[in-house]
Amino acid sequence: MSAHLWTAKTRAGGARQVALLRQLARLYGVAPAYEDIQGRRQQPSPEGLLAVMRAWGAPLIGISDVPRALEDRRFALWARRVEPVAVGWDGGPINLELRLPRREADRVVHCALQFESGEVRNWSCDLRRVPTRAGPSRRRDRYVLKNVALPGQLPCGYHRLSIDLPGGPAEALIISAPAKAFEPASGSGSKGKPWGLFLPLYALWSERSWGSGDFSDLETLLRWTNELGGTAVAILPVLATFLTEPFDPSPYAPASRLFWNEFYLDVARVPEVAQCQSARALLASAEVQKEIADFRQSRLVDYRRGMALKRRILETVARCFFQSMMPDRPGSVQPEENRRDAFHRFLSAHPRAEDYARFRAACEHQHSAWPLWRAPLRDGRLQEGDYDERARQYHLYVQWLAQEQIERTSREARQKGTGLCLDLPLGFHPAGYDVWRWRETFVQGVSAGAPPDTFFTKGQVWSFPPFHPEALRQQGYAYFIECLRHQLKHASMLRIDHVMGFHRLFWIPEGVEASEGTYVHYQAEEFYAICSLESHRHKSWIVGENLGTVPPYVNPALALHNIKGMYVMQYELSPRRKLRPIPRDCVASLNTHDTPAFAGFWQGLDIEDQRELGLVSQAGAESGHKTRKQQRRALSRFLAAQGWLKDSAGSPKSVLRASLEFLSSSESCFVLVNLEDLWLETQPQNVPGTGVERPNWRRKASYSLETFCRIRDVISPLMKVNKLRENNHDGQLSRRSQLKKRAGR
């Protein structure tokens, strides 16, 4: 740790200074203590608190600065005339707190509320008629507080309030949102409750794609799911990633949460390929065809080589396209008018695309991450010469293609009653576009992460900067709203990764252990309001990933705003107790992408993997296997007692099917089936806490799309799932089915 964090002189400050430090932390929304996953109270060190608050922006060097900083913070909070954001639910009244110097408190002020539509509502407010409350004790003679109500019903939307005051207008963003997020009308008639399939797009492969899934494969999977009665296909994030230098294929470390990953483009469906002779020749060459064949035969996805090959083709096509856009160029083949118009419509609808393309081209031209660039570039100012023009055109072109392909996929799916379940990751690559362009939105000098727990005894450092709570509000959550809209345009369901981050996030100062970090709180109500409003506008469900360390206030907040939680059977298993009833407002599944597949879990392969990785000792592994055996026995007995399993000594295959039937008969609003479980896959897609040690995010499905669509052991359990969900209207199916099964025996 840096010496300036905690000097001998600082330590001499004593208990009183530490107490003042903890008071100051609370005023910044920084937790001076927290409960760990086992309910034990943990107190970060004074050094850790100082580092976290300094990153937040507190004027601190050492603990001797705390008394002055404490007084300044109290005054700054009181002197803020109005909070930057206010929320109203269901068009209801909104009361704003005005904090005013006493000399300004008794006057008539003009108020203007500009609705999102552009309409303006003006009125005057006589502050002399508004009851007054005194300010803090030391400022009682200078400041007062008044509650001002906004008149009338408010339409849903983002509105701007301005109140004219002597020192200048006080302004606030008003978010008027439905109290509950969108949910399709309950299935009247015979449709029952919905279900869907899960498979990462990189793992999906077909006999026509290039050894890894693409948007056309996804389209085919959606159609097949629809034919079976399913209503959604869930995939991992397909956002832009770095697949050259830096290289990080993790879907949870995107280069941007505002753009797509061109790795998933289906090159054969690019309209310009037919018009570009050089691209057709390259595509038909023996060299390229051999490389594609090699990709198809590989058991792992080779992102680097695969992206390099696609880029060779797409760069050639992009060059043809942009040359054709120059009408005076001799011999150029003009693009069809509708394609030219489509490209310009894309640019108009996505004004950041040009900026993003320049950024990605500059990354390649500078051969380094943006924090290492010289000042003008690092600070967001790019000019010609800072990047290669052809690279800029390539990145712009592939974003247009990706937008077209995913839009076509989602549109066709929704028309047929099947939708995409997309995923908004909590994290991103620290060298990515979003941090470069939205610098003030993120906190430098700390990383988001997780405190130590029983599995990660040293905690987790996720290596990306967290949102700055105050900057987000001052900017009206513009970046967060853009991230939501980018995916909701195409998603019938959106999963919010680590939804607890709406309430608090664990900050870890750079260069120290995770135990030195602490939680920082956010304005959760404002996140929920935005999610609810955007979900209604796009008619999409919102799912919150509420797994792991979940504070007691999170799940009630999700229920209050109709954000669906998650029920993962693997997390619910106990050596002794029965499975708890599956909540109605949740997405139920057997596992997630971060857990072992069902068969691997059943065999305890994850325990052996942890032992090999050194995460548990031999004794710990033996204890884990003993517990796992008890969990298997408890689950089998439970399923047999409920009527889903013939006997408690069932095979993994029979227990898997019984488990799926148990989930499908429940009251859960949605059931998600991991396709790989159906053929008893034993290997996981991701092993948390590992990198090069395991092929995370690279393992392809054991069967091609064409093959598993014909496997009886895949189709049969899905037909049963569909039948149970079709007949599941009132939550009584489970009990009726159990009685019927028992009577049949």
How does DSSP assign 653-684, residue by residue?
HHHHHHHHHHHHTSS-SEEEEEHHHHTT--S-
Checking if the pLDDT of 202 tops 90, the result is yes
pLDDT one-digit tens code per residue, 554-612? 999 999 999 999 999 999 998 887 888 999 999 999 999 999 999 999 999 999 999 99
pLDDT one-digit tens code per residue, 500-531? 999 999 999 999 999 899 999 999 999 999 99
Residue 612 tokens read as 């090999």
Q: 0.75 exceeded by the pTM?
A: yes
Query: What 3-state DSSP class applies to 125?
Result: strand
Number of H helices, E strands in the chain: 26, 24
Q: What is the model's pLDDT at position 744? A: 43
Q: What is the model's pLDDT at position 386? A: 96
Kindly list the structural domains of the chain, giving each domain's residue range(s) and its CATH number in brackets, ordered by start: 3-78 (no CATH), 91-177 (2.60.40)
pLDDT one-digit tens code per residue, 216-250? 999 999 999 999 999 999 999 999 999 999 999 99
Length of the chain: 745
In angstroms, rounded to a whole number, what is the distance separating the alpha carbons of residues 425 and 455? 22
Checking if the pLDDT of 696 tops 60, the result is yes
Mean of the pLDDT values across residues 301-306? 97
| Closest residue by Cα to residue 241 from 433, 424, 406 | 433
Query: What 3-state DSSP class applies to 80?
Result: coil
Checking if the pLDDT of 79 tops 60, the result is yes
Q: What is the model's pLDDT at position 5? A: 46
Mean of the pLDDT values across residues 451-480? 92
The average confidence (pLDDT) of the chain is 92
458 falls in which pLDDT band (50, 70, 90)? confident
SS (H, E, C) 92-124: CCEEEEEEEEHHHCCCEEEEEEECCCCCEEEEE
C-alpha pair distances (Å), 279 with each of 111, 333, 403, 738: 61, 14, 21, 60
Residue 241 tokens read as 């990633």
How does DSSP assign 721-744, residue by residue?
HHHHHHT-SSS-HHHHHHHHHHHH
141 falls in which pLDDT band (50, 70, 90)? low
Mean of the pLDDT values across residues 713-736? 81
